[in-house]
Structure 1
Amino acid sequence: MTDTIDDFPIRTHDKLRYADTDKQGHINNAVYATFFETGRVEFISRAHEVSAHDDAEFVIAQITIKYLQETHWPGTVEVGSRVKRIGGSSLVVEQALFNDGRLCAAGESVIVQINTSTRKSQPFDDAMREYFSALLAPED
């Protein structure tokens, strides 16, 4: 996993709230999933703008989070997102969470585009595939 926000083509941020802290005084582990959601929504909403499909939405099939360092209130976090792999109707999304430039957590999600009527997976159209391709992580 990378250790700089600049390695991610999609970047956004979230404010750390006092309500996000737990008994130990650091940001609760469950809140990290919300931060990663902020990053996913940032680029998924853009994907819908380029697509001809108006009958599709995305659902989470899997999410994995690696907690690397504690994060404390007050402050902000930066969320970096990029596409790791593109399937027919699914993506593997790689994300990283930074606080004051420190890598605090790494996440990987599998998201699937579904048809809003049938609730079944729906293949990406060419415009969406091209958009996601521009967000691909460099190969190791």
Structure 2
Amino acid sequence: MKASYIGDFEKWANDFSFYTQVRVRFSETDMYGHMNNTVSFTYFEQARIDYFNHLGILMPSAIDDNVNGIPIVADLQCDYRKQVFFDDVIHVYAKVAKVGNSSMDIHYLAKNQKDEVCFTGRGTVVQMDPRTGKSVPITEEEKAHLAALAII
């Protein structure tokens, strides 16, 4: 199975450097011990927040009147490659694949403790004005910050 957002898989996978580690909890599995298919999206969220913190991208509160933009997930996709079970230790990698005018495309890669790819994913995060509900541009300063980190 090939995901449409991945060209050369080896090159794509080698471009990841940041990851967060999660352990599959019993409550995240079905009666057969498989990780529920909705849990990967929770893991993507954790990896994205940890990654943004690592990059110094603030996750401001929508209730702060001084905030001009907050990151909102516009879409999210997951492609499953290998089963995940209770108590597996998963490394969920995240990277910025593309920066647009008001959005970023984030890619994800999840590997188990045997370094096997379990699932991959992508999602678009849009910067939105919490007062208007409309997208706002990513500033040139923010783009320069991302470029300085050599991630775009």
Q: Which bin holds the TM-score, normalised by the shorter protein?
A: 0.7 to 0.9
Counterpart residue number, 1:16: 24
Q: Matched residues, percent identical?
A: 24
Name the CA distance, whole Å, in 2 between partners of 1:22 and 1:131: 42
Compute the TM-score of the two structures, normalised by the length of structure 1: 0.84
1:135 equivalent to 2:151? Answer: yes
Superimposed CA distance per residue, residues 22-46 of structure 1 (whole angstroms, 9 cap, x where no aligned partner): 1222111110010111111122343
Deviation at 1:59, TM superposition (A): 0.9
Cα distance change of structure 1 residues 41 and 123 upon mapping to structure 2, 3 Å threshold? same
Deviation at 1:130, TM superposition (A): 2.5
RMSD: 2.2
- Which residue, 97, 111, 114 being the options, matches 2:110? 97
Counterparts of residues 3-82 of structure 1 (less than 5 Å): 7-45=15-53, 46-48=56-58, 54-82=67-95
Counterpart residue number, 2:121: 107
Count of aligned positions? 133
Paired amino acid for 1:55: N
More strand by share: 1
Compute the TM-score of the two structures, normalised by the length of structure 2: 0.77
Deviation at 1:112, TM superposition (A): 0.2
Cα distance change of structure 1 residues 71 and 97 upon mapping to structure 2, 3 Å threshold? same
Gaps of 5+ in 2: 1-8, 60-65
- Greater Cα shift, 114-123 or 4-13: 4-13
Gaps of 5+ in 1: none
Task: Kindly indicate whether structure 1 or structure 2 has the higher relative contact order, using CA contacts under 8 Å at least 6 residues apart.
Answer: 1
